[in-house]
Structure 1
Amino acid sequence: MPHIEWRGSKCRVKWWAGEYLPNGRKKYETQGGFEDEQVALNFGLDREHDVRHGTFVRSDKAVVLMREYCWAWHEAQELRPASLKSYKSIINSQIIPYWGNRRVSEIDAFEYDAWRKAVKGRAQRGEISDTYAEDIIGVFRLLMADAVTRYQYRTTSPVPPKQPHRGKYRKKKRAKKRPLEMGTLYQLATNAYMVWGFTGWVYIWHAAFTGMRPAEMYGLERIFTYPSWPASDPDRDRCRDSVERYAGVGPMPAVRVEHQYQWVGGEKTLVEPKYESSRTLVLPPFLAQMHQELAASHDSRWTFRSILGGDLLGARFDRDYWAPIRGGAEERTLRKDFLRPAIPAVEVMEGKPIYLLRHGHKEWLDEDGHSRIATESRMGHEVAGVEGLYGNVTPKMELRIMETLQVRWDEFVGRPGGLWLPPSPKPLPVDGS
């Protein structure tokens, strides 16, 4: 039962907060400033009701500002470095500037709806992408959900449960995509050779014929790449099993996707692939031959070196590599060690990210009729439900993938008139990194 006491012309109410002090005594909360005892008593009864039903917010938590809560929440998350970096950016640039001076406990549904509408409006006007708008709203949703269920800063979330059929329907804008044609890929690879030498030539074909993510290719080490792998695998048990499967009778050359290379706290760090999608990818014979030649051209730890011989994570890839490969570049004549002819633009790839080569790989697997479990596993995706539980990628499935990819290459290079192919590689200059 709440306790009422007068202090001068005002009274205050004291009630048990449902917690105990270190000495074992009950911990009480108080609220003053009442002029009527019944009003104060009702206030205390309401608080005790909240305590009994688990909806009470302690007074010290009720005054916490969003700017304090957001960073405490971010610090508590156990996520991959890329996700933490993305959340940090959204909190710093989008959440705190708008909500930072507000108490976590006082944000209501009307305010959230107005803010959400404003964020969506920015996307509709083209100020931010639809995906980024959804990311902003998604981070706020997580903040509010945890404020209720984990940290008890409020009793309910101002963000309603997802209701996909509520409100005016707006079709999501999707970038227009073209099927990945071999001719387009060939021009990209030829441009990459002019920008980056034989490494660039192999890089483009490898991206399109394996579907690896860019960060996975940055972190692809020689020991996990054909022809060294699987014999060079440091995991002895996996090495034994992989040698039997990929280098035994009817060998299937392959690479092992074991890491991705990212900046973590300002340091270059090998971390697990996205979604913990470590996997083995068989290579069509033509690509395996390219890797043999590439491996013989250098002794770097990395399969794909930068132009100066270091790792790709330290290079400005989008600006110095992908931009001229995709968009073309003028002739270079000033420096003898970096002479380069003019590079033609690949018009169908104008403004497009290199990630589309991965999308194209998925299209090819679907066109060739591979099973869903084989396709999604190769892409580094987990198949949910019973299908994923019982599914398994067999050697026969991998062999068929290898064969269909090789057919795609053979049909292209076997066209009348033939194609230019680069000569055997020469060692690139190194910068000591």
Structure 2
Amino acid sequence: MAYAEKRGNKWRVRYVRPDGSTASQSGFDTKQAALHWGEEQEAGIRRHRWNDPRDGAALLADWVELWWAGQDLEATTEAKYRYLIDHHIVPAFGNRPVSTFTSPEEVVAWEKRTRTNGFSHRTAADARSLLGTILGDAKERGMVASNVAVKRRGRGRKRTRRTIAVRGPEKVWATSLQALLLAERCALLSGRDDDFVLIVLAAYTGMRWGEVHGLERPACRLDRIQIDWQLRELAGRLEMVPPKDDSHRPVDLPPFLAALVSDQSTRTRGRCACQGRTPECGGRGQFLFLSPDGGHHRRSNYARRIFQPAADGRYPGGTRQAGKRLLVEATGWPGVPIPPWPDAVAGQPFLPPRGKGIRVVDEDASTAVWLPLVEGLTPHGLRHSHKTWMLEDGIPEVLQAERLGHTVPGIRGVYSHVSDGMRDELKTKLQRRWEQSLAQRLRFGAASPVPLLNRLLEAAQTKGTARGHLASA
């Protein structure tokens, strides 16, 4: 039973812990207040709801490691959390006892410092959110009285919340014509039809980038792709893992795309260059998309050498200088890429560069530069594009969610189902969208330097001519 004793001008209470040892708490102004606090502790012990105040004296760095051992996370999420802990949270608060987190203003100031030190709004917000999760679990154990890292609703500048919304500006997306032109440019930069099919497949299915690169022949079934795996790149290592959030799903293919995928499956070598009798990446050696040397495309390399130049019309630059413009030999639209030249300086004569390793271009040859197609577009932006196309075409929400690997929230998801009629309608509208983009591409030129696209344009032109004859008859 708790009892109080006088200590100078204050009162101290003593009570018995669950292990039989005696604990005390000082600093009470009256005997009654001391007894009331001690009786509350004993009542919590009897109800098995008591938390030892000594736990709050643990340093945040020690609590984080204990907390971390109990987390079960996706590998990518684990890498992200570990970065935030090691580079932001522990350096700032690691030597602080958990019980000393009592000031929300201190956490707000830390978040602002993170942004002013050159980190993005997203990084600063994610670091604060993770700190809130860590302190929230500490609060449940009685280590801290309140979670001061949780951002209260309605606080902060509305302008910042509305325009930045933590996740940055609106994602760039492409129209169906822009997706076709992007695929053509990527194929020209790589010199292979494979990249044309890769970009078109990503745009017309909404598959994640890792799902496209992890696609193998057994998953391609006539007019449908079954997504059960993705090729994940993490810390320089490639491995086959289930899709994000275990979003196993079928993806229906319109007729044109089914034909492209079927042709690609017969053209590709399939077996990757990964070491081992069975590839160390975990695949079965039947990949649809591989690099020219038989390896897997690396996300950053592909973006820097192929995707970004095709979308932006220039190679990525450094922190202090813009990238070089993408130069093409304009013998036919849209031109064949050649090694870039340095930018001309105003007021000074310009001569094409010459030297070892530089392709000599005849001064009479017609050269041009590619204008930006969809500046700032990323591979993930193709998923946004596909979602936007489905919204434009009035595709039911349940089929949109299934196709992108999402779930319909609430009771709508329980009572909504995908029918064969929905699938047929989607394939019909995607086929129509593709044919319209080919017709628009024909206005720029009847031929293409990309062999595969050139055959498609010839077929589209022949089909259009036949329709014209039938209409006139």
TM-score range normalised by the length of the shorter chain:
0.7 to 0.9
Equivalent residues of 2:187, 2:193 under 8 A apart: yes
Distance change (3 Å), C-alpha of 1:184 and 1:126 = farther
Which of 113, 116, 122 is 2:108 aligned to? 116
CA deviation profile, 1:217-259 (whole Å, cap 9, x unmatched): 222222213xxx3xxxxxxxxxxxxxxxxx5xxxxx1211112
Structure-1 separation of matches of 2:125 and 2:27: 45
CA deviation profile, 1:246-300 (whole Å, cap 9, x unmatched): x5xxxxx121111222246875332222222111111122222222222122231
Amino acid at match of 2:264: L
Indicate whether 1:206 and 2:201 are aligned: yes
Indicate whether 1:77 and 2:71 are aligned: yes
Equivalent residues of 1:259, 1:271 under 8 A apart: yes
Structure-2 separation of matches of 1:126 and 1:369: 45
- Secondary structure of 2:378's counterpart equals coil
Structure-1 separation of matches of 2:28 and 2:69: 43
Distance change (3 Å), C-alpha of 1:45 and 1:305 = same
Per the alignment, residue 138 of structure 2 pairs with: 147
What displacement does 1:137 show? 2.0
- Secondary structure of 1:306's counterpart equals coil
Equivalent residues of 2:14, 2:22 under 8 A apart: yes
Distance change (3 Å), C-alpha of 1:49 and 1:279 = same
CA deviation profile, 1:139-174 (whole Å, cap 9, x unmatched): 11211111122x4433432245x6433555232325
Per the alignment, residue 28 of structure 1 pairs with: 21
Equivalent residues of 2:230, 2:243 under 8 A apart: yes
CA deviation profile, 1:344-391 (whole Å, cap 9, x unmatched): 545143333221111111110000111111112211110011211111
Per the alignment, residue 448 of structure 2 pairs with: 420
Structure 1: runs of 5 or more not aligned: 20-25, 230-246, 248-252, 426-433
Structure-1 separation of matches of 2:267 and 2:71: 43
Per the alignment, residue 210 of structure 2 pairs with: 215
Distance change (3 Å), C-alpha of 1:167 and 1:50 = farther
Indicate whether 1:351 and 2:376 are aligned: yes
Taking the TM superposition and a 5 Å limit, the aligned residue runs for 1:264-275 are 267-275=237-245
Indicate whether 1:320 and 2:305 are aligned: yes
Indicate whether 1:193 and 2:187 are aligned: yes
Report sequence identity in percent. Answer: 25
Equivalent residues of 2:56, 2:142 under 8 A apart: no
Per the alignment, residue 219 of structure 2 pairs with: 224
Structure-1 separation of matches of 2:71 and 2:111: 24
Structure 2: runs of 5 or more not aligned: 271-285, 315-325, 328-337, 340-355, 360-365, 454-473
Equivalent residues of 1:254, 1:281 under 8 A apart: yes
- Secondary structure of 1:299's counterpart equals coil
Structure-2 separation of matches of 1:121 and 1:35: 38
Distance change (3 Å), C-alpha of 1:32 and 1:114 = closer
Distance change (3 Å), C-alpha of 1:183 and 1:267 = closer
Which of 131, 153, 167 is 1:164 aligned to? 153
CA deviation profile, 1:312-343 (whole Å, cap 9, x unmatched): 2587333333233334445349499xxxx999
Indicate whether 1:285 and 2:255 are aligned: yes
Distance change (3 Å), C-alpha of 1:380 and 1:254 = same
TM-score by length of 2: 0.70
What is the number of equivalent residue pairs in this alignment? 382
Per the alignment, residue 424 of structure 2 pairs with: 399
Indicate whether 1:132 and 2:123 are aligned: yes
Distance change (3 Å), C-alpha of 1:269 and 1:179 = closer
TM-score by length of 1: 0.76
Structure-1 separation of matches of 2:308 and 2:415: 43
Indicate whether 1:409 and 2:434 are aligned: yes
CA deviation profile, 1:30-73 (whole Å, cap 9, x unmatched): 34889999698677446435545766432552221111222222
Distance change (3 Å), C-alpha of 1:413 and 1:348 = closer
Indicate whether 1:182 and 2:176 are aligned: yes
